[in-house]
Amino acid sequence: MSKQELSKPAGEGLIATLSRLYERHQHLLKYLIIGGMASAIDLILFFVLYNLVGTSELFAHSVSVPTAVLFSFVVNARHNFKTNDYALIRFTSFCIVCAIGYAAGYAVIISVQQMFANEVVGANIGKIVSLPVVFIIQYILNSKITFRRTLSETS
């Protein structure tokens, strides 16, 4: 360590490191927070429709996911990736990515549900287990395709 590093308060190096990490990964962190809010919307709607209203798991999933998708697109486009160009193309791309996530999520729900004697418990646990799988798939696709910077934005 240099004399300059030794003279810094211990927290200053940590704050600088955290600041650099945030700068480097701010889209991921914001995507995670927005995704957490969208997941809460998704889960609440799914649990209400499936457990309280008594719909099928497919119907509950088919209502909860698109609602969360619309929320997520609007908030990510405006506040995270700050894109307002090519809105229809970006939304279409986002929906395609979400359809991929939808299919993967439903596959996880059904797979986990089959491991349980009680279908209701299995579907609820499967829904929770599906969230990180879908998050990873969708973040990679959306950050690389849907919300990528256009040539006019990088110039």
What pLDDT does 93 receive? 95
Neighbouring C-beta atoms of residue 93, cutoff 10 Å: 18
Q: List per-residue pLDDT tens for the chain, 155 residues long.
A: 455 555 555 557 888 888 888 888 888 899 999 989 998 998 899 999 999 999 998 899 899 988 998 999 999 999 999 888 999 999 999 999 989 998 999 999 999 999 999 998 999 999 899 988 998 999 999 999 999 887 555 55
Phi, psi of 112 (to 5 degrees): -70, -40
Q: What is the pTM of this model?
A: 0.70
In the prediction, which pLDDT does 56 show?
93
Q: Which class for 52: exposed (0-12), middle (13-18), buried (19 or more C-beta within 10 A)?
A: exposed
- Between CA 99 and CA 65 the distance in angstroms is 9
Q: What pLDDT score was predicted for residue 2? A: 52
In this prediction, residue 23 carries a pLDDT of 85
Q: How far is it, in rounded angstroms, from Cα 48 to Cα 67?
A: 14
